[in-house]
Structure 1
Amino acid sequence: MAPPYSNGYNYGYPSSTSSYDYGYSLRNNGDFQSICDDIFAVTRTMLHRMSTYANGPGRRAAWNLATKAVQQFKRNMTRRRLLSFPHALFALWILVLLWGERWIFASRVNSCDWDHWENWPAGTTPHRLIFVADPQIIDPHSYPGRPWPLNPLTIAITDNYMRRSYKQLQKVLHPDTVFFLGDLFDGGREWKTARGDFEDPDWAKDHRPALEQKYLKEWRRKYGEEYWLEEYGRFGNIFYDNWGLGGVFPGAGQRGRKIISSLPGNHDLGFGAEVKVPARHRFNAYFGETNRVDVIGNHTFVSVDTLSLSADSSSMKGQVELQPIYGPVLEFLKGVKATKRRAVQKEVRFWRGEVEDLTFQQKVEDVDTADYTNLPTMDKGESAPDFPTILLTHVPLYRDPGTPCGPLREHWPPAKPPKGQTSPVIPDHRNAISVSGGYQYQNVLNPEDSVNLVKSVGNVIHAFSGDDHDYCEVVHPPERGNVREITVKSISMAMGVQIPGFQMVSLYNPIDGQGNPMPGAPKTTLQTHLCLLPQQLSTYVTYAVLGALTVLILIARAFLVPVLNLQPFALDPIQHPPSALLPIFKAKSEGEDGGAFDVKPTSNTSSSKFPSARMSSTRTRGQSISNALGTQARGASPNEKTKGKWGWGQQGRGPRIEIRRDAYFDETWKPAAARSRARAVGSRIEIILREIWTTVWRVVWLVLGFFAWLTWRG
């Protein structure tokens, strides 16, 4: 009887079993150990084969590649190659790229230097402040569906534009204070918070555009608190990390340097009734209180979260509970005048050399008999000195439709007035900010909110806003306090304006020891200047034109190389040893038997007569080589005659003749002059094509590599 089938493994079955189970059983430790042994054995075999390849063919292949690379590097590092025409073009490109990616930013910001436009009396020490509006850093919300690598490239280019502008802003201008006017992020309101209900309310779910509805589930799944923190770090890398470039110490006569970025935009929180309260709590935690009062340069700056304020006048008020949205800002505005007075008194006490905060007498009193009527306070009442107030809001104040924005607006210049008219054309809808709104935005505040805001803050001499991305300057009517308002340009190149910018403000308000203006102080305590940054589209057009000229110049040079006998840039291909698979020499014997034979020096053979056993002949037709061998060849032994293989030309195998190309491809039927001209034309075309490819490719990869390095460096 035949023994039961076995494959060499026993997986816990009795040896007498007559059936074979193709599955593995893991019912005991022996089975598991056997499987582990198999895995280890396969792993050891693979590692052994990899090691054998690495120590044998792999090492030789790596050595050959390294040798070829070194050889190619040596050929390229000659003076002829380094000082060649394509490299001269690359040197020109280096200058152009440094100009477009670095120097032009310094040049533009230098042209905005404070001394170029400030107009204060001699010896003054103004406080110098800069407003930055709508950086709105690019994220998945900006261009949903844009594929890789286009989206990361857009992010890198726009971030670098703002970073380079801001660096020069700090290095050249050294501002004492920098204020951000909202929209720090583009999709900040969309990225979920760690806590709180972040879903859209049921009544607002159909407000989203169809494009956003398409990506909403993906955003909720992929982007949350961790992603927002990464974006916060990215914002800080652009702006906070470069703050120190402006210096550690403030300007003469100034209290200190400040950077304030707590004013939110609708892309950070939402707008009106659809403000995301959890997003606002997160924004407050990382950027500071959205409603605040700051005394800077003897002026009072009041920042107001007008996004949340707009919920109070929303059409949804009364239908849904909106008090958590607008409640905090209304509470702030209710006491903002007292807050302003206290802030002014703290500033005055500082300049008098006193302790800024209140001091209280320490004593023990009974709660029932304690007197609370004469407690120390910073608020001296409405008769106390008040500094000129500057209102900061992300959304511009209301204005009548068609109110012109002035000649500095980029989108559309003001309409030309009729002959004889000196005042601007009103209405001028093309030059104006559109009085309209949509999902999570409104171009201007509601009329009632604007009036109440100016009245609540009080003593507003100027307002600054963002949101529109373009410059706009208007003077509001008396019901809004005749306030002059400037809507600041976006600093980003991706916000629909070809020439981004920022707003410079110079403040000078000399005061006495009580906080009142000094005699002879200027009536206007604030001067402004719009600083325009490089037009990136113009820079890219310059690159495109220079790129086209570069290719044309290299093509023209390639055609001139064979004509003027110029030094070619393309290297001749490296001549590798011929393959041993096909012979290039053929041994030939003209003996009587026609067989192959070998010639080996013997004791009777002089080394001077045969310096080498390997012989080569370049004889022509009809010329015999047998006479040159003489009797030595005929005296060779039979074994030695048959050692060699015909046609391989091994050492000591006898004479060889070279197999020439024309032996197989006879072109004698063509006239000699025609053959010569054809070869010359073919050679010239080959030189031209090789020069075009080599020079264009060399310049292209060098230029792209340098541009990539500049982009990576930021």
Structure 2
Amino acid sequence: MAWPYSDGSSHGSYSSFASHQPFGRDSGSTSLVEDLRAFIASTIRSLWRFWNERGRRMTLAALVSAAHRLRRNLTYNRLLSFPHLLVGLWIVVVLWGERWIFHTKVEDCHWSKWENWPAGADPHHLIFVADPQLIDPHSYPGRPWPLNSLTMTITDNYLRRSYNQLQGQLEPDSIFFLGDLFDGGREWKTAHGDFRDPEWGPHPEDERKYQKKWNRKYGEAYWLREYARFGDIFFPPWVKAGEQSGAGQKRRKIVVSLPGNHDLGFGAEVKIPVRNRFEAYFGEGNRVDVVGNHTFVSVDTLSLSARSSDEAKRRDLRYIFKPTEIFLDDAQWAKKRAVEKELRILKGQDPELRFNHRIEDLKKANFDDRPELGEGAPDLPTILLTHVPLYRPKGTPCGPLREHSPPSKPPAGQDGPVVPDDRNAISISRGYQYQNVLSEEDSVLLVKKVGNVIHAFSGDDHDYCELTHDANQGNVPEITVKSLSMAMGVMTPGFLMVSLYNPIDVDGKPLAGPGKPTLQTHLCLLPSQLKTYARYATFGLLTVLLLTIRAVLVPLFKLPRFALDPEPTNTIILPIFKAKVEDYDAHGSHSAGFSASRFRQGSGTRDRSGSAPGARPNGISTLARTSSPKGGRKSHAHGHGHHHSSNNTKGGGSNGSGSGSGKWGWGTGGSRGPKIEIPGENEDFYNGDKWKAASRNSARSRSAVRVFVSELWTTLYRVVWMSVLFWGYLTWKG
């Protein structure tokens, strides 16, 4: 088929092709729609017919059965039974592990329990949150869908519960995030720009097999959903805490713009479209904030690291690191502008300058009269924020609060820590899209350009590390903050609390005096989720043990059973032989032969155990054993119709003497006939009492085992499903 040429001619054009179709161009689609409508109509008719014929009755029967079972279970004795007591204990244990322990851990970190300021001080309360690193398909690419989704839900719940308690109990004035908001943020394809890996930084081998799938399934739309997921966890509690704080709350601030290497990448592998997307939604990675009379300088050290990378010696990477380099060149002036704005706010003035409106002759105008913010503004104590820790020599110890490994024990006579101490230090290494510490060149440049740095805070390592750098880096103390997430390789996640107290006058001059500390920190540890699960497992084993002991004691001491007896059935079991002689009535005469009333009593009427009177459990009727009237031998009959008659024929023997009496007592009157008996379960025709007793004991043992198994299974099932259902509800609620 070809389209018409410009001169109007065509060779096999679409219009001529359509005109030759036998059914027109819509015949196929019309037929398909009609077939679909017919199929839907037929399906609806079939379902309606099924509902009228059987479905309604089945539904009603199911509802009646469910209501009946509910009524049987909602009795006083069952509700207050031992298995339900264990369910109640499980509810308490699960509430403790999923809710209360978070409240207790954060409550132990209250500001008043560790702050040490002069009486009457009103410090600014700030909290650092590091590496929430939301779990996503990049975290565990080999895990199947259900397990991966459950992992995401559990880790999100841990973050949400910790952060809710952090906001609800501690009521911080400011929150700063230290990067790595996502785990795979750098992997999700952008809507604009070149997303290809640079030729000098391809994915590692173990990730390349997933890269095509990631680019196809996880693009801009997925990143936006992850952005909404992050906001759902961290923003509502912040807003709610602000609404509840009232007018006495200081000016609050939350800063989430500092990027991590899982958000952007690292150094020469940073992709500009990814960085642009992150900054469009979270703000500039390089920024200055004045909080609690301190100046906080956040620096995108990920991009800055491209400047000192090996790749920068071979190609131009200024498009990656130049924005951060420009920011650092202007950092000290930006600090003064921010401080002056803060002072103008404290004075009740407009934070921005307003020029006087006047008309001047162009030739006489004074262009030097241009006041700018920052002229004469003081330099408040500066706090440096970077995602990647500053450089330190290999083996520099991190102190006793590091979880991965405590400090090595110093030799006898040595007071200070062991140096180097590799097991207690941050590893000095790098790889695809990461570097554990900044280069020494970038660290020295950073401290020098920012100026007046009294403290540095970082993330990335996931564990706590505290040290003081050497003179090349201004002897700056630095704390690497623990990850808030339970999935980042640390047993006890945490966050860092910082109390800032630096009173100043209206001109920004300190009032506390020179040399006074203006900052105090405290590491707040959160619950260990693995320990919580270990406690669940321990209590689970104890539950199984207790239910097993109970199941053993029930048949031994005839305790009330928890398992319900099977429902009685209304099925009529027809007799498989005729009774020879009916029981005697109260006057010594036997009743008429096999009457209708006896048939109904023997087969249609059930006792509480679900068995018909006089019936064996297998449905075969049993008659009582008796002797002949003159003391003759007992007569027996098997359930299969084989009968053993008595040798004594007197008084209604085998001849059935007496008026109206027939052979074997089929008559309605006369002398007595022999009674026919089929032994019960625990009886035997041929052996003596000893064998009978052994048979009874064997039957009792089998019955006890059945009771044990039934009780153990029923009670264990009840405790498990009710406890798991409650845990699932709490997990769903978050």
Same fold (TM over 0.5): yes
Please state whether the residue corresponding to 1:128 is helix, strand or coil: strand
d(CA) in 1 for partners of 2:399, 2:32: 82
d(CA) in 1 for partners of 2:495, 2:421: 25
Mapping 1:112-261, distance limit 5 Å:
112-205=109-202, 208-248=203-243, 255-261=250-256
Mapping 1:271-290, distance limit 5 Å:
271-290=266-285
> Alpha carbons of 1:664 and 1:532: their partners in 2 closer, same or farther (altered >3 Å)?
closer
1:258: Cα distance to partner? 1.2
Q: Which residue identity does 2:442 align to in structure 1?
A: D
d(CA) in 1 for partners of 2:216, 2:342: 49
| Residue in 1 that maps onto 2:525 | 532
> Alpha carbons of 1:35 and 1:589: their partners in 2 closer, same or farther (altered >3 Å)?
farther
User: Residue 180 of structure 1 contacts residue 262 of structure 1 at CA under 8 Å; is this kept in 2?
Assistant: yes
Q: Which residue identity does 1:121 align to in structure 2?
A: P
1:202: Cα distance to partner? 1.9
Q: Which residue identity does 1:485 align to in structure 2?
A: E
TM-score, normalised to structure 2, is 0.82
1:522: Cα distance to partner? 6.7
1:351: Cα distance to partner? 1.5
1:366: Cα distance to partner? 5.2
| Residue in 2 that maps onto 1:685 | 705
| Residue in 1 that maps onto 2:693 | 673
> Alpha carbons of 1:386 and 1:72: their partners in 2 closer, same or farther (altered >3 Å)?
same
d(CA) in 2 for partners of 1:34, 1:353: 77
Deviation track 1:150-188 (CA, whole Å, cap 9, x = no partner) reads 111111111111111111101110000010000000000
Mapping 1:235-384, distance limit 5 Å:
235-248=230-243, 255-365=250-360, 369-380=364-375, 384=377
Q: Which residue identity does 2:188 align to in structure 1?
A: W
1:246: Cα distance to partner? 2.7
d(CA) in 1 for partners of 2:677, 2:132: 73
Please state whether the residue corresponding to 2:121 is helix, strand or coil: coil
> Alpha carbons of 1:664 and 1:514: their partners in 2 closer, same or farther (altered >3 Å)?
closer
> Alpha carbons of 1:39 and 1:434: their partners in 2 closer, same or farther (altered >3 Å)?
closer
User: Residue 303 of structure 1 contacts residue 393 of structure 1 at CA under 8 Å; is this kept in 2?
Assistant: yes
Deviation track 1:518-571 (CA, whole Å, cap 9, x = no partner) reads 154771000000001111111111111110110011011100001112111111
> Alpha carbons of 1:59 and 1:667: their partners in 2 closer, same or farther (altered >3 Å)?
farther
Q: Which moved more, 1:145-154 or 1:443-452?
A: 145-154
1:370: Cα distance to partner? 3.2
d(CA) in 2 for partners of 1:693, 1:626: 61
Provide the alpha-carbon RMSD of the alignment.
3.1
d(CA) in 2 for partners of 1:400, 1:347: 38
d(CA) in 1 for partners of 2:37, 2:301: 68
User: Residue 562 of structure 1 contacts residue 684 of structure 1 at CA under 8 Å; is this kept in 2?
Assistant: yes
1:358: Cα distance to partner? 0.6
Partner residue of 2:474 out of 460, 474, 481: 481
Deviation track 1:115-142 (CA, whole Å, cap 9, x = no partner) reads 0000000101000000000000100111
Q: Which residue identity does 2:437 align to in structure 1?
A: V
1:418: Cα distance to partner? 1.1
Q: Which residue identity does 1:297 align to in structure 2?
A: G
Q: Which residue identity does 1:263 align to in structure 2?
A: L
1:626: Cα distance to partner? 12
Please state whether the residue corresponding to 2:521 is helix, strand or coil: strand
User: Residue 555 of structure 2 contacts residue 704 of structure 2 at CA under 8 Å; is this kept in 1?
Assistant: yes
User: Residue 509 of structure 1 contacts residue 522 of structure 1 at CA under 8 Å; is this kept in 2?
Assistant: no
2:87 is the counterpart of 1:83? no
User: Residue 249 of structure 1 contacts residue 257 of structure 1 at CA under 8 Å; is this kept in 2?
Assistant: no
Q: Which residue identity does 1:100 align to in structure 2?
A: G
1:289: Cα distance to partner? 0.9
Please state whether the residue corresponding to 1:248 is helix, strand or coil: helix
User: Residue 250 of structure 1 contacts residue 257 of structure 1 at CA under 8 Å; is this kept in 2?
Assistant: no
Please state whether the residue corresponding to 1:506 is helix, strand or coil: strand
1:355: Cα distance to partner? 1.9
| Residue in 1 that maps onto 2:574 | 584
Gaps of 5+ in 1: 1-23, 591-609, 635-658
Deviation track 1:16-43 (CA, whole Å, cap 9, x = no partner) reads xxxxxxxx98479999999987776665
Q: Which residue identity does 2:447 align to in structure 1?
A: V
Deviation track 1:67-88 (CA, whole Å, cap 9, x = no partner) reads 1111111111111111000110
Please state whether the residue corresponding to 2:350 is helix, strand or coil: coil
Q: Which residue identity does 1:62 align to in structure 2?
A: T
Deviation track 1:271-305 (CA, whole Å, cap 9, x = no partner) reads 00101111111111111111000000000000000
1:672: Cα distance to partner? 2.2
2:72 is the counterpart of 1:55? no
Gaps of 5+ in 2: 1-20, 581-594, 603-613, 615-622, 625-636, 638-644, 646-651, 668-675
| Residue in 1 that maps onto 2:721 | 701
> Alpha carbons of 1:611 and 1:412: their partners in 2 closer, same or farther (altered >3 Å)?
closer
Q: Which residue identity does 2:729 align to in structure 1?
A: W
User: Residue 502 of structure 2 contacts residue 512 of structure 2 at CA under 8 Å; is this kept in 1?
Assistant: no
d(CA) in 2 for partners of 1:182, 1:217: 27
Deviation track 1:496-536 (CA, whole Å, cap 9, x = no partner) reads 11111000000000111211111547710000000011111
d(CA) in 1 for partners of 2:467, 2:25: 87
> Alpha carbons of 1:45 and 1:179: their partners in 2 closer, same or farther (altered >3 Å)?
closer
Please state whether the residue corresponding to 2:422 is helix, strand or coil: coil
d(CA) in 1 for partners of 2:686, 2:559: 35
Higher relative contact order at CA 8 Å, sep ≥6: structure 1 or structure 2?
A: 1
Q: Which residue identity does 2:307 align to in structure 1?
A: D
2:418 is the counterpart of 1:428? no
d(CA) in 2 for partners of 1:39, 1:589: 66
Mapping 1:382-421, distance limit 5 Å:
384-421=377-414
d(CA) in 2 for partners of 1:669, 1:106: 74
Deviation track 1:363-397 (CA, whole Å, cap 9, x = no partner) reads 2345565322011211215xx41100000000000
d(CA) in 2 for partners of 1:121, 1:424: 32
Q: Which moved more, 1:461-470 or 1:361-370?
A: 361-370
Q: Which moved more, 1:444-453 or 1:361-370?
A: 361-370
1:251: Cα distance to partner? 8.9
User: Residue 562 of structure 2 contacts residue 714 of structure 2 at CA under 8 Å; is this kept in 1?
Assistant: yes
d(CA) in 2 for partners of 1:203, 1:474: 34
User: Residue 176 of structure 1 contacts residue 250 of structure 1 at CA under 8 Å; is this kept in 2?
Assistant: no
Partner residue of 2:558 out of 534, 549, 565: 565
Q: Which residue identity does 1:551 align to in structure 2?
A: V
Please state whether the residue corresponding to 1:242 is helix, strand or coil: helix
> Alpha carbons of 1:345 and 1:42: their partners in 2 closer, same or farther (altered >3 Å)?
closer
Q: Which moved more, 1:388-397 or 1:409-418?
A: 409-418
Mapping 1:434-513, distance limit 5 Å:
434-513=427-506
> Alpha carbons of 1:50 and 1:358: their partners in 2 closer, same or farther (altered >3 Å)?
same
d(CA) in 2 for partners of 1:387, 1:72: 73
1:413: Cα distance to partner? 0.8
> Alpha carbons of 1:68 and 1:420: their partners in 2 closer, same or farther (altered >3 Å)?
same
Deviation track 1:585-618 (CA, whole Å, cap 9, x = no partner) reads 469699xxxxxxxxxxxxxxxxxxx997986677
> Alpha carbons of 1:536 and 1:42: their partners in 2 closer, same or farther (altered >3 Å)?
closer
| Residue in 2 that maps onto 1:594 | none
d(CA) in 2 for partners of 1:155, 1:356: 44
| Residue in 2 that maps onto 1:643 | none
d(CA) in 1 for partners of 2:450, 2:539: 55
Q: Which residue identity does 2:451 align to in structure 1?
A: G
d(CA) in 2 for partners of 1:91, 1:353: 58
1:628: Cα distance to partner? 10
d(CA) in 1 for partners of 2:143, 2:41: 47
Mapping 1:608-623, distance limit 5 Å:
none
Q: Which residue identity does 2:140 align to in structure 1?
A: Y
Q: Which residue identity does 1:309 align to in structure 2?
A: L
| Percent identity for Structure 1 against Structure 2 | 56
